[in-house]
């Protein structure tokens, strides 16, 4: 519990896709009328799925505290609609 009656989850280490279902379960188990904060001060590495998850949390009014700058920038890029279509990569066929 936070001093303001909210809930704070302090995360550390790696935040990767494999840990997201458990974190999602914990967040969904909290009462939505109380403020919720994810403290990312000790997070060292995130993957793309974690960034998407954090973007969803932010959109749902979850506070992201002590969020590393590179993660904030990545979240902003993920939330922005893409202006260019995804490029198709050519498949290289082995020479015969």
For the chain, what is the mean pLDDT? Answer: 85
Burial class of residue 22, CB neighbours in 10 A (0-12, 13-18, 19+): exposed
pLDDT of residue 10: 96
The structural domains of the chain, with segments of one domain joined by +, span 7-79
Mean pLDDT to the nearest integer, 24-31: 88
Q: Which CATH architecture has domain 7-79?
A: 2-Layer Sandwich (3.30)
Question: Of 79, 60, 77, 81, whose CA–CA distance to 69 is shortest?
Answer: 77
pLDDT attached to residue 3: 60
Residue-wise pLDDT tens digits, 33-73? 889 999 999 999 999 999 999 999 999 999 999 999 999 99
Task: Compare 94 and 69 and report the one with higher pLDDT.
Answer: 69
Q: Which pLDDT belongs to residue 17?
A: 96
């Amino acid at each position: 519990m936070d001093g303001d009656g909210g809930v704070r989850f302090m995360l550390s280490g790696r935040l990767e896709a494999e840990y997201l279902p458990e974190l999602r379960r914990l967040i969904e188990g909290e009462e939505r009328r109380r403020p919720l904060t994810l403290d990312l001060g000790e997070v060292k590495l995130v993957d793309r799925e974690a960034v998407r998850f954090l973007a969803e949390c932010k959109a749902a009014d979850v506070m992201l505290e002590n969020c590393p700058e590179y993660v904030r920038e990545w979240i902003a890029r993920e939330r922005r609609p893409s202006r260019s279509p995804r490029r198709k990569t050519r498949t290289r066929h082995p020479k015969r």
